[in-house]
Chains A and B, each alone.
Chain A
Amino acid sequence: MEGACVELAGKVPAQPVGRSEVEELTLIRRAQEGDRASFDVLVRLYDQQVLRLAVQVVHSPEEARDLYQEAFLKVYRSLHRFRLDARFSTWLYRVVMNVCLDHLRRQKVRKEVQTPDGQDGETEYFQTVPDERPTLDPERVTHSREIGGRIAQALTRLNPRERLVFEMRHYQGLKLRDIGEMCGTSEQTIKNCLFRATQKLRSELADLA
């Protein structure tokens, strides 16, 4: 299980590769002056990570696209408030996290009962990464689909903040300190969230673990 975490962490670099901070600052300054091309480049530096998080916390491609769009529109609208001495990635993620939290709160109210993470019709949008070679035996597929459903169900038992912290730490491989910075709260608060999330999942999935 540690292997899985490490691998996921590898896929989500805390700092996007291939650009210096100076370049990023130049882009931000230009974008703040209203240069859309610079803003577009900034978006492309971060949007894959944002979309990856989005597809994990929502049910449908439409919702993921809305989340993605809402997040970057918020970034666009409030970019003039960003102070150049802060870390842009942290600031951006704070916006993204708030959008995700709002979404999860609305989701919780709206569809408590709906089956979470329906798989039909999503395959074109979300590539389910196979954990082994494509030729899985059908029994295994059914089994892992069932488990997938159970996990998705269990994740809905977490409150929005616990859910987001858990997604960021367990599935996106981010460090707790970074998550704390992104949420604008202390590392201890994040630790408590993670603790409660783990407790709830343990009891929800006790028969499987």
Chain B
Amino acid sequence: MNCREFEENLPLFLYEELSGEQRAACEAHAAACEACRTALAQTSRLHDVLAERPSREPSTEFLMECRQSLDEALDREQHGWGGLFRAWVAALRLRPASGFAGALALLVFGFGLGWGLRPRLANVAPAPTTNSASLTGTGEDLQDARIKGISRVAPDPKTGDVRITLDAERRVTIEGALDNDRIQSVLVYALKSYNNPGIRRDTLDALRAGAGQPKIRRALIYAMQNDPNVGVRLEALDAVRGLDWGPDLQQAFLDTVQHDKNDGVRVAAVDVLARHADRALTPALERLATSDACPYVRMKCTNAVRQLAKTGDDLSNGNQ
């Protein structure tokens, strides 16, 4: 090996990307050549210097925010494709919730929370303020916490704060007010992605208080339409029915009546829809009046169509 070859191989030598043979040749050359030995020492010191660059780890909350905004962007993307989206929704409803995909999501979610907590600890101030999310526990407790999942979501009725307890070797709690963006992100994320219906239901309970906020409103509507668990869908429906009526709610309830596999959910949805129906809905209601499998839904739609024809636009303002 000559000096030029040594120089070319130097980074590879330091990154251990050379074969045993090449490595030995480098070592032999460095032992014999003073100039190259100096270059090696210098580059090695450069690596020491480069190691001083602070390594920036994205925090868990930031990851959640990114996921959330990606989620929204993907929603927009799908809506842009109109028909394709509907086909997708239909396909999704036909498919029973896959246990394996759910388990995987759970695993990844647990992993996702664990990651990012460690680096955060040094910066956590122990005194929680009302409008910020904080981690409680002593630094040492959290230092090696390996998060396995969420074990509890509990709103505190007195303060309005939400406490999220994570499964770990030691207990970890995230606490903060519902209007805190981070807390919202974690909850919205849990509602959409978490595998345990009990946790989703608790999350839903926690979110109800903030249903007036757009992000939470969207998450609740999403749960009503997409949660694999009937009980959670019904509970989401219950949380959503009292909100200010708007096109998003009308569409969501119509979709639910049209597509939900469960009679109970469709019955509950058609009650709300009929109460708020306006004439634009007449064709859809007419179709449902003949096609829905459930007699109650058919009857409710028939009545709603009749009512709309009789009263003209009187009901267009919603609450009868």
Chain A contacts to B: CB under 8 angstroms: 1-2, 4-5, 8, 17-19, 23, 26-27, 30, 33-41, 43-45, 47-48, 51-52, 54-56, 61, 64-65, 68-69, 72-73, 76-77, 122-131, 134, 144, 147-148, 151-152, 169-171, 175-176, 191, 194-195, 198, 201-202, 205, 208-209
Contact = CB atoms under 8 A, between A and B. Distances in A.
Nearest to A46: B108
A147 B49 CA distance: 8
- Secondary structure at chain A's binding surface: helix, strand, loop or mixed? helix
A8 to B, nearest CB: 8
A3 to B, nearest CB: 9
Interface in B45-64: 45-59, 61-63
B193 interface: yes
B63 A40 contact: no
Nearest to B119: A127
A208 B43 CA distance: 11
Interface residues of B, number: 61
A27 B101 contact: yes
Interface stretch (B11-19, B196-204, B205-213, B230-238): B11-19
B160 interface: no
B259 interface: no
Nearest to A194: B11
A61 B69 CA distance: 13
Contacts of B112: 44, 48
A61 B62 contact: yes
B120 A144 contact: no
B52 A198 contact: no
Interface string B103-117: 011011101100110
Contact of B69 (A65, A123, A130, A171): A65
A176 B69 contact: no
B108 A208 contact: no
A41 B99 CA distance: 13
A130 B120 CA distance: 10
Given A4-B51, A129-B119, A41 B56 contact: no
Interface stretch (B84-92, B239-247, B287-295, B306-314): B84-92
Contacts of B56: 55-56, 122, 126-129
B55 A128 contact: yes
A34 B269 CA distance: 26
Contacts of A43: 67, 70
A148 B54 contact: yes
B21 interface: no
B63 to A, nearest CB: 6
Given A126-B62, A191-B12, 8 more contacts: A26-B100, A34-B87, A73-B77, A76-B77, A127-B122, A127-B123, A201-B46, A209-B48
Contacts of A194: 11-12, 15
- Secondary structure at chain B's binding surface: helix, strand, loop or mixed? helix
29 contacts: A4-B47, A18-B104, A18-B108, A23-B104, A27-B101, A34-B84, A35-B91, A43-B67, A43-B70, A44-B112, A47-B66, A47-B67, A48-B112, A48-B115, A64-B62, A69-B70, A76-B74, A124-B61, A125-B62, A127-B58, A129-B119, A147-B49, A151-B50, A151-B53, A169-B15, A171-B53, A171-B55, A194-B15, A202-B46
Given A47-B67, A51-B58, A76-B77, A195 B91 contact: no
Contact of A41 (B59, B84, B95, B108): B108
B49 A73 contact: no
B90 to A, nearest CB: 10
B203 to A, nearest CB: 17
B63 A48 contact: yes
A9 to B, nearest CB: 10
A64 B119 contact: no
B44 interface: yes
Interface string B259-297: 000000000000000000000000000000000000000
B255 interface: no
A73 to B, nearest CB: 6
Contacts of B34: none
B39 to A, nearest CB: 9
Contacts of B108: 18, 41, 44-45
A52 B193 contact: no
Contact of B73 (A37, A73, A209): A73
A69 B63 CA distance: 11
A14 to B, nearest CB: 15
Nearest to A30: B101
